[in-house]
Amino acid sequence: MKKIVMVGYGAMAQAVMPLLPADVKVGWLVVMPQDVAKIQAVVGDDIKVVSTVSAIEGKPDCAVEMAGQAGLKAHIFDLIAAGIDVGVISVGSFADETFQQQVEAAAKAKGAKIAILSGAIAGIDGLASAKLAGLDSVLYQGRKNPRSWKGSYAEELVDIDQLKSATTFFKGSAREAAKRFPANANVAATLALAGIGMDATEVELIADPAVARNQHKIVAEGVFGAMEILMMGVPLESNPKTSMLAALSVARFCRQLDDVILI
C-alpha cells in the first residue's frame, strides 16, 4: 500500500481521489490553515488534514501538488527537505527562473525527484524527444470559452462578457503567459520545459464564445520534422479553468507508483 500526500484540495484534487487505485491511499492533505477543520470534517478520520509539511507524521511515498502556484511555492521546499518526491501540476511556477533553480538545487541535494505532470495536453514525450535533435520553433495556442478566462488578467485586456467572436487577447512568451495567467497557462510552461524554453516558446491565448471545450494546439518544427497536435478537453464542471485531462494526468502518475513497466 502506497500512502501519498496531496497538496491542495480544490476541484482537481476532489476529481483525482475517486480515480486512485486500491493500493494507493491519500494519507495526508496539506491545505490552508483556515480550511483544516472544515476539510477534516469532509474527508473523515482516515486522512490527516494539516497546513504544513512539518505536521505530517510518518513518511509518505510521494506527494502530488494541485494547489496553484502559491501553494506549490509554499510547500515544495519542505517536501524536498523531507526527501519526498513530488508530482507537480502547477508548472507555471517555473516561469520564475530563480525558483526553478532553487528547486533543482534543493532536490539534487536531498536526492528527491520532481515530476512535471503532462496536465491538459498530449505530446510532451514527443516534444522532449525532438528537442534532442534540435527544435526551431514551438507555438502553443490556448482557446477557451470566455467564462474560463473570468477572474484572470484577460479581463484587463478584453471585455469578456461582450465577446461575440473568437478574440486573441494575448501573444507573448511562455514565461510571460505563465506569470500573467497563473491559473490558465500551466500548459504553456510544460511545453516550454519540454522544448525550447520559457522565452523562446510562443503563446497565443484566445477567448472564443463558440467553443465549449478547452482547446490546446501545439505546433512544433525542427530537425525531427514537424508536429501539430490539437486537444479539445472537457473542463471540470466545478472549475472551467481546468481540463479533466489535467486531473487524469495526476491520477495516472499515482497509478504508476508501483508499475514496473512504464509508458
**The Cα angle at residue 139 between residues 203 and 124, in degrees rounded to 5:** 110
CA 60, 65, 70, 71 torsion-angle sign: negative
CA torsion through residues 168, 171, 174, 179, sign: negative
CA distances from 115 to 103, 202, 230 (A): 12, 23, 24
User: How far, in Å, CA of 135 to CA of 230, rounded?
Assistant: 19
75 is annotated as an active-site residue:
no
Q: Is residue 120 a known part of a binding site?
A: yes
Contact, 65 vs 72, CB < 8 A? yes
Catalytic residue, from 48, 75, 175, 216: name it.
216
DSSP letter assigned to residue 260? S
CB under 8 Å, gap of 24 or more: what pairs does 43-51 form?
43/9, 49/9
Radius of gyration of the chain (CA): 18
3 state DSSP class of 235: strand
Which residue in 64, 73, 28 sits closest to 246, CA to CA?
64
User: Is residue 194 part of an annotated ligand binding site?
Assistant: no
Binding residues for NAD(+): 120, 186
Residue ranges for the known binding site are 120, 186
Show which residues are catalytic.
216
